[in-house]
Each structure stands twice: as C-alpha cells, then as structure tokens.
Amino acid sequence: MMQHSSKIFSLLFFAIILSWGIPSRAQITIKIDTKNISLIFFAEQDGKLQQGYFGKKLSDRDVTNIRLTGYDAFPSFGTTYINEAALRVVHGDGNTSTELVYQEHHSDTLTDGTVQTEIRLKDMVYPFFISLFFKVYPEDDMLRQWTEISHSEKESVILYDYASSHLFFNESAYFLTQFYGSWGDEMNMTEVRLTRGQKVLDSKLGVRVNEHAHASFFLSLNHPAMETTGEVVGGTFAWPGNWKLLFDVDEKEHLHVITGINSYAGQLTLKKNSVITTPALLFTWSDQGTGQISRNFHRWARKYGIYRGDRDRYTLLNNWEATYFDFNQEILTGIIRDASEMGFELFLLDDGWFGDKYPRNSDNAGLGDWMVNPRKLPDGLGYLVREAEKNGIKFGIWLEPEMVNPESELYKKHPDWVIGQPNRPIHLKRNQLNLDLSNPKVQEHVFNVIDKTMSENPGIAYIKWDCNRFVTNGGSYYLKPEYQSHLWTEYVYGLYDVLEKVREKYPEVSMMVCSGGGGRIDYGTMPYFDEFWISDNTDALSRIFIQWGTTQFYPAMALASHVSVVPNHTTGRITPLKFRFDVAMSAKLGMDLQPADMTENEKAFSKNAIREYDKIRKIVQFGDLYRLLSPYTSERTSMMYVSEDRSEAVVFSYLLEKNIQGNTQSLVLNGLDPDAMYQLTEINKDPKTYSWFTPLEGKVFSGDFLMKYGLRFTMYNQFDSKIILLKAQ
C-alpha cells in the first residue's frame, strides 16, 4: 500500500546549512518530461524560480528560446501582492512575509519506472524550506505535484495557506469546465470563460469531498473545450477532505491556478524540525481535446490510482432498494438464492443488519453498535456467508464505521468521541454524528469494527464502506484548544491510518467507497478501494448524465452502476428494463432489485443480460473510452470502449427524447484500427421489440470506414438503447 507522509511528524535535520545566502549563478534549467508533455522551470541568477513552459514536449535544444514572465513558480505572501499567494506563513518572530529562492534540485527514477523531481526552495533569511515535488508517469502522460514544508526556526510557524501546486498560463483565452451537483444529482458539467479576477471552486465539508462540487476541472486554452481537438489541461485533487481550486486571471490576462487543501478555518501550527506534506494535484495535458485527458487518467488509474486496477470487478446484487431496513434471515436467504440463479457473483447485505439494545430498523438508531440484530438474523452473519457459499457466490457487507447515532450504546458510552463543540447543541445530519478520527482511540475503534466483523465471519469477500454525512460543529474533544483548526487535516490522516491497517490485514477483500452516493470520490481515497458508488440515484436517465461526468476522470471499471426498480425510488421515472441494463452495462454492472418481485420474463431477460455483460466486461472495464455524442448537446447519446489491442470494441447508444421522424444521427466511431475489418453484432436484444439495428447485424466494415462514415441506424422511441459489439476478423 502507498505510504502517507502527510501527517505532521518529527524530522531531524542532519545537514548543516553552511550559508543562507544564494551565490551568483547562471540560469539553471529544470525540465520535467513525460512521453508527450514538458513542464519546465528556470532558476534565475537572483535565485527566483519561475515556471517557463507547460505543454507539448519540447526538445532540449529549444529550451533556451523560452521567454520568462517574471512570476514566481510558487508565489508566497509578502512578495506577491496583486495575485493570490500559494503560501502564507507567520514566522516564529511574527514576520508575515516569506521570500523563497532556489537551493537545489534532483531527479530520481523509481523502481516502477516513474520519475520524481524535487526542487528545494528556502526563505532568503529564515531557515524555512519548501520542496516542490513532481512525480511523472512517462507512458501515461500524467503528473503528480505536491509540496513539503519544513523549518528549523526557534519558535513554531503558523501556516495559513499551504497549497500543493501553482501552474501559470499565458494564452489568449481560458475556458473552465467545472463539476457540480448535490445528493442524487452528482457530477454535472458546465463550462465558463474565465475573465479578469478570481473563480474559486471549493469544499468545506470536512469528510465528503464532493457533496456540491468536485475537485476536478478541465482548462481549455484559447478555445472552448472540444472532445477530440484543442489544447486542454485536466486536473483533480487527491484528498478526501476540504479542498480549494483557485483560478486567477491577472491584469496582464495571465492565469494562475492554485490548488490545495482548503485552509479556511484550518491553519496549521508547524513545530521546529517538523515537516508537513500536502496532498497532490494530479494533472495532464492534451492537444487532442478532453477525450485524451480522460484516457490518460483512466490508464493511469488502472495502474496506480485505484486498488487492484488489474482485476475484474464482481457483478453483484445489493438488497438496499429491494428491502431497505425491512428484512429477515429468510428474505435474505431467498435473495441470495435468486442472485445465484440469475448469474450474479456476489450478494451485498446493506444497512440494517445490526444493533441489539438500539436495533437498526431505521436511520435514527443503532449506528455504532456493530453486533448482529438477533431478531433479524438469529443465526448471525456467518449463516448468510455459508448460504452464499452453498449457492456458489460471494458475500459482502455494508459498514459505516466513522459514524454514530445518539441512540446507540457506543454514543452513550463515549459521547466525547464525536465531532462537536462544547456549549453548543448536537447538530445531526441523517440522524447521526461523525466520530472524531483525529483521536487515536477512535481510529482504533473504527479499525476494530472492520476487523471484528471480518474475523468473526470468515468468508466475507466485500465491504461497502459508507459515510453519510459531512462535518458540522467542527470541533474535537481530543485536540487541545490551540490545535482545534487541525481537525480538518487530522481527520483525514486518521482515516488514512485506518485504511492502511485494513488493507494490510485484508488485501484480498474488495471494497466499495460510498458517501451518501458520490461524496467521497477522489484519488486520495481510491488507492484503498476497488470501486465507488457514484450516486444514490439509480434512475437510468439520470445515471447517463452522472456517469458521463464521472468518467471524465474516473474509469468505468470502478464505477458501480445498478439496475433498479421502476418507478424509480428517487425520480419516480419509469424506464424499460433493457434501457436500465444497457446503461448499467456501460460501467460495472450490479442490481438493486428484489428478484422475488420480478416476473419470469424479467428474470429471464436479466439472466441473459448478465451473460451478455460477460462478453463485454473486459472491454468496458479495461478499454479506452471514446465519447461520441454528448447528452448535453444531443437527443441521442453514445460512447464506446476499445480494447487495448483494438481487436474489440463496444458501442452504447441511447435515445433520450422520442423522435417521430426517427433519429438518424451518425455515430462516427473512434480508436479503431483503420486497417482492420470489424464484424458488428447487437447484444442484449429485447426479443419483444423490433431491432432497428437489424440491417447492420453481422455486417463487416473497415475501421477506417467506421471512423469516417460511421454507424448509421434509426432510433425512434424515448429510452431506446443499443449495445453493439465489434470484433476484428
């Protein structure tokens, strides 16, 4: 597992600094390259570090032709007045300014083939240090940037702003695509042109990174963002806590992008000979539009960004929308049997299985008391695990170990373990409170919840880890008064510590991260989790938009997408079963239906759909994504996945609005081998409806033809959907 050095810890300085001054020197060039990208810095004779270039890879011979702009690569308060500072510090003697100059840099090739560069800066007077770190993944065209802050001043230093990155752009125009939403409506996209002044995207929710906004962005240079053309930067901040993305267009129409932890009400006290490491900005560049940005992120994520990105994900049946809290052992046994007969690989038992004195029969009690409710499950979880094994499938369990209901034995015993403020009333969200993970005893408790559940019920193969509220009354009964502002970061460090221990002991258990839907989807969290639940809204039409936004940065293999009942429990919308399956099959297929309530025809269709998904599972989960028609601009939407060797592809097409004359939009494909011949087959057909794809069924076309002329077939009715499999002959 990855090691997190972001906790403040004691650091001994072994090197003796002989001189704090900066000697006269010629300009020093620092060139950071991937396969197709260059990021270049220059240290001037006065010691100032400047970003000189970021974009398409430059040859070494051309670097000397770059013209500098005079802006600091990492602007600090006291030397930056017009623009926002990436660093604001009060030194031990009360000095509020910092002036950073270059000391040294070095690059190292790591064992996994990545290259890490450290640029070390120092205040001109104080023994105060900033290291800018850049880790590049050359073949994936991905960059990771973070900072490390340390000092050996006599007194503690207060950090008021401590960004992870600062990027500088000098172009004619800037267009920002941001991602926003709310519960049940996650990952909407909108683009705005950045004009003079600042635009801030941020979160102050503490433990839910994207309740209302997401820490991801596209920055299109000179022109609005396009899917297949144009120069675009894509970035996302890897941190499941408070974050801030600042876009600042200055008086010269230059753009400064500063990203990092949102330091609002979160200043940090840094003791002498200590160090803090900030979270990372992950970013990439493309001159082939936003589509290439997404493919860069997806390829990188499968190797580095998500847990076990080289493995297939389970198809599972979850009982949540099927039963909610109203179930017993007999009902669950029946669902397990039905799940197996339908072809699912895992049954997931959701909320409501625990609590004795305060039974979990609704969301107002029992959370925190992780003992089996004997009235619902008299033979315990172990019985259900064995029932799943008897039926040839795996068993999974829902847990929300970071939370507690006031109506629970845990809260009655440890009221000081929650996040809250003295002399203030309890402030509930979803009838629950956050446990304070800055407290080591709480960290131990949370780990023990997982450990006890797993060790007492060997055979559990899957955990759905939920987090259903954000932080309010942000205080800690554990932290000292002068360190209350550390809660926002210490909570996340505590969470990381727990996840490290869980993964160390249970490396083979699959885990889904959930947070009232998609509230905790970030690349700080995903290295511990196999997949994520992006939204509690399972309506297929809503999911087209939610998944369209999510897959801009996160791969489909990790995106759990479930077929659910109609009328949908969130929207009330009624959509065909085929449409629901076809949408879910474009990501990681699952189901939230009660099989006992399905007709025999619905069961038969579902069993066949699960078999059909097996034909395309590897293409969807490991292939390159190409978006063909956007739901934001077209009444028909389409995307496709292409296998790495380009021998197979699968095209999804959905009609969002009825068209009496018939929708004939051409699907111009992408990513194929132009010289290969591909045979077309429609899968997951509904035998009750006429297939308008029939004239193309079994036909063979060249990749070149399909990428120029495209697929042309008519769709008529709202919620018509097609899945077309292409195989090279």
**Given the residues 72, 436, 530, 536, the one annotated as active site:** 536
CA dist 21 and 571 (Å) reads 65
Closest by CA position to 722, among listed 693, 701, 687, 695:
693
User: With contact defined as beta carbons under 8 Å apart, do 489 and 269 qualify?
Assistant: no
CA 170, chain centre distance (Å)? 29
CA 131 to CA 148: how far, in whole Å? 5
Q: How many helices (H) and strands (E) does the chain have?
A: 11, 37
| Residue 466 is a catalytic residue | yes
Token pair for 181:
């939403």
Q: Which residue from 609, 592, 480 is spatially nearest to 540, judged by alpha carbons?
A: 592
Task: Determine the residue type at 548.
Answer: W
Yes or no: say if 374 and 356 are a contact pair by the CB < 8 Å rule.
yes
Which residue is associated with the tokens 């600094």?
17
What lies within 8 Å, CB to CB, of 604 at 6+ separation is none
Query: What φ, ψ does residue 103 adopt, rounded to 5°?
Result: -110, -55
CA distances from 345 to 338, 388, 473, 599 (A): 11, 10, 42, 21
How far apart are the C-alpha atoms of 442 and 496, rounded to whole Å?
13
Q: Given 140, 466, 539, 624, which residue is catalytic?
A: 466
By DSSP bridging, strand 636-642 and strand 624-629 are: antiparallel
> At 588, is the secondary structure helix, strand, or coil?
strand
- Please answer whether residues 315 and 344 qualify as being in contact, where contact means their C-beta atoms are separated by less than 8 angstroms: yes
Q: How far apart are CA 519 and CA 458, in angstroms?
A: 30
User: Which residues on neighbouring strands pair with residue 202, listed in sequence order?
Assistant: 244
Q: How far apart are CA 45 and CA 63, in angstroms?
A: 17
For residue 623, the one-letter residue type is G
Find out whether 586 and 620 touch, Cβ atoms under 8 Å. Answer: yes
**CA gap 34, 32 in Å, rounded:** 7
Bond into 567 cis (ω within 30): yes
Strand partners, 220: 175, 232
- Rounded distance between C-alpha atoms, residue 2 and residue 535, angstroms: 27
Q: What is the 3-state secondary structure (H, E, C) of 546-579?
A: HHHHHCCCCCHHHEEEEECCCCCCCCCCCCCHHH
Token pair, residue 445, equals 């408790």
Contact 260, 162 (CB under 8 A): yes
Q: Cβ–Cβ contacts within 10 Å for residue 715, how many?
A: 23
- Please calculate the CA angle 412-415-420 and round it to the nearest 5 degrees: 145
Residues 404 and 417 sit within 8 Å (Cβ to Cβ)? yes
Catalytic residue check, 536: yes
Extract the tokens encoding 276. 């803090």
CA angle 474, 476, 478 (to 5 degrees): 170
Q: Which residues contact 52 (CB under 8 A, 6 or more apart)?
A: 40, 41, 42, 63, 66, 68
Q: Which residues are the active-site residues? A: 466, 536
